[in-house]
Chain A
C-alpha cells in the first residue's frame, strides 16, 4: 500500500477516511485543526462527498456527529482539549445514548500550553464519561486507530475518544496505508428509543453503560495497543502512556536498561497487565504525557500499597509536557554535558503581524479609552489576544471562548463603566452571541467590539461561521440598529474611528462596534 508522510493530525484524518468515514465535524483549535483541514483537501473525500465543513463550535460539532451516527454513518468529531469543555454536555450524554454508526471524538491536548490557556488532560473526560479512549504514540497508530475505534464504537454502541497531544499532532512521519473500508449504509438505530434520554430510558441506558465497563476492560487487555515487554530487572517496572512511551524507548534504545515495560494506548486501563507489572516489580515508574491519571489510580487516596514513582512524587515534573531529557532523568541516566543558551539571547514572543487590522483597531480603542484609564477591556481567544502585549497593552482578560461579552455584561451589572468587550468574528459565532442576548435582555451598558477579519486567523485561516451576517445577527438579537456601528480599521481613518467608539462609550445601553478589515493572510491565501 501507499506510504504517506503525514502529521499526526493528518494521519487521523486519512485513517478515518480509510475506515469508512462519512462525516467530519469540528471547530478549529490548535493542535487539532489539521485533522479536518486534511480531509477538506483530500480528493477522495470530495469524490465521496464526505461532510467536512467547519461547525459553529465544538458542542454543535459533537451533536451533528451524533445525528450522523443516528443515521447509521461513521462520524469523526475534532477539537482541542478546551473545546471538549464546550462539547462536554453532548459528549458526556453521548455515553448514555450511545452511538449507532461509529463515533470517534478526536481531542488534541496541549500540555505545556503552547497555544492554550490550560493543559487539561482529556483522558479524564473519558474516565468521567466511562467511555473507551485510545491514545496513539506515533503517526502509524494515529492512522490505524480510527479503524479499531470505529469497530469498537459500533460493537458496543458507544463513542470512542482518540486522544492526541501537541507533539504527535504536529509531528510528521511516514505511515503505511491499509485497505479502504466502505462507508456504512444509512440505517436507524435498532432500538428506536436509544437516543431518548427521558429519565425512564436514561436509567436503563446508564445501567447498560455500567455493565459494559468490564467488557471495555477486557477489550483493553486484548488490545494490540497495550503491550507488555518483559524485562529481567524487576527492581522497577515502567508503565508509559502515549508519547511517554516514545521518550522512554528513545532512552532505552542502545542502553543496558532491562526493566519490564507496559505500553498503554487504550483505556480503560488493562487490569491484567497492570496487576502483572505491579506484582512482579519492586517499584513502578509511571510516564504519562499529561496529568497523572494512571498514577493517581495506582496510588489510591492513601498511597500506601505500591511503590509508585511519577509526576506526584517529583520523579517527573508535576506539569508540562515530557521530553527525552526529563524521562532520562526519571530513569536515573546521567545527563551529557549541555551547552547553555547565551545570556545575549532574548525572548521573542509572538506578535500581531505587520499590517494586521487588529493593530489599527487597538490604537483606535486605546485613544478612545484614554480618558477612562486602564482596566476596562475584557477580551477573548484569538489573534487579538496578542493586543495584551506591548506596544498596545489594550486588553485585560482572556479566559474562554465568548467570555469577553459575558464578563463585560457582569461587570456592567456591578456598575462598572465603561465596560468593553473585544471579541473576534468567529469567536462571536462560537459563543459570543448568547452573551450578547443576555446584554440585550439585561439592558446592560456595554460596548461589544466584534473584530471582523473574516476568518479564524490564529489557527490558519479557516472559514468563519458568521461571515457576512454579523450585523443581522446583532440586530436579530435585539441590538438597536443605530448602535451597530461598522468602521474600517486603517490609519487614515483613525480620527473618525475614535469618534465612533467615543460616541458608543457615551451611549447608555448595548452598543456593537464592528471594525472590519480582512486578515492579511486571508488575502494572500485567496490570491493563491
Chain B
C-alpha cells in the first residue's frame, strides 16, 4: 500500500490539521509516513501545500515525485490547480469550490471550474456551505477529508478515532462537529 497525497490551500485554512489527523491515523495503523509542510513566510495568507506520503514500505523522499500523486485535496479551487504537475494520470482532484480571494487578479470562478472539470477524476463542491450547516465553517477542512477518505488507504474507523484524539483538548462539542463533518464529506463521494 502506498498513497501520495497533496494537501493544498491558503495559509490559515487548516491543511496542517488534516495532516495532523492523517499522521495520527498512520501511527494507529502502524504504517510509515512522511509529511512535508510549509512554515514561515508563506503561512501569512500565501499559497501553502503539504506532501503526505503513506506506505507500508520505506519512504525515501519527503517530497512527492511529479505525476505520481494519488490525490490532490484542496480547500480552495485555484490552489487545487497549482499542484497539477504532481497528479498522476488517473489521480483524483478533490476541492472545495469557495474561493479565497486575497489577490487583485484572482481569476473568474467559471474558468477555474472549467479547468477542474478537465481532470479525468475530479470532484468539486461547496464544502464551506456543508460545514456551515453543521455549525461552523471551521470544519470545512474535515468535510474535505471525509470526501477523500475512501482513497487514502486508511480505515474510516481509524480516521474517526484520530479526529477524536486530535480534537480531544477542544471539548466534546468540537469533536462531534468534526465527526459530523467527516461523515457529511464522505457522502459527497458517490
Contact = CB atoms under 8 A, between A and B. Distances in A.
Contacts, number: 149
Contacts of A339: 67, 84-85, 87
A253 B104 CA distance: 44
B66 interface: yes
Given A336-B67, A338-B67, A383 B60 contact: no
B41 A170 contact: no
A34 B40 CA distance: 11
A347 B78 CA distance: 10
Interface residues on A, range: 35 or more
Interface stretch (B44-52, B125-133, B145-153): B44-52
Interface stretch (B26-34, B171-179, B182-190): B26-34
A49 interface: no
A346 B41 contact: no
B78 A345 contact: yes
B41 A174 contact: no
Interface in A103-135: 114-115
Contact of B34 (A3, A172, A247, A347): A172
Interface in B95-122: 102-107, 111-112, 115
B115 A344 contact: yes
Contacts of B106: 346
B35 A344 contact: no
Nearest to A356: B44
Contacts of A243: 62
B61 A173 contact: no
Contacts of B111: 344
Q: Which of A3, A172, A335 has the most CB of B within 10 A?
A: A172
B5 to A, nearest CB: 13
A351 B104 CA distance: 12
Give 6 closest A-B pairs by Cβ, nearest first.
A115-B40, A30-B40, A350-B46, A250-B61, A171-B62, A171-B36
Given A5-B24, A33-B39, A352-B45, 9 more contacts: A3-B27, A172-B36, A173-B32, A173-B59, A346-B107, A348-B78, A351-B45, A383-B44, A460-B39
29 contacts: A5-B23, A33-B39, A34-B39, A114-B41, A115-B42, A170-B37, A171-B34, A172-B19, A172-B36, A173-B59, A249-B60, A249-B61, A323-B61, A335-B66, A338-B66, A339-B87, A340-B84, A340-B85, A342-B81, A345-B107, A346-B78, A346-B103, A347-B47, A348-B10, A348-B78, A350-B45, A350-B46, A383-B44, A386-B44
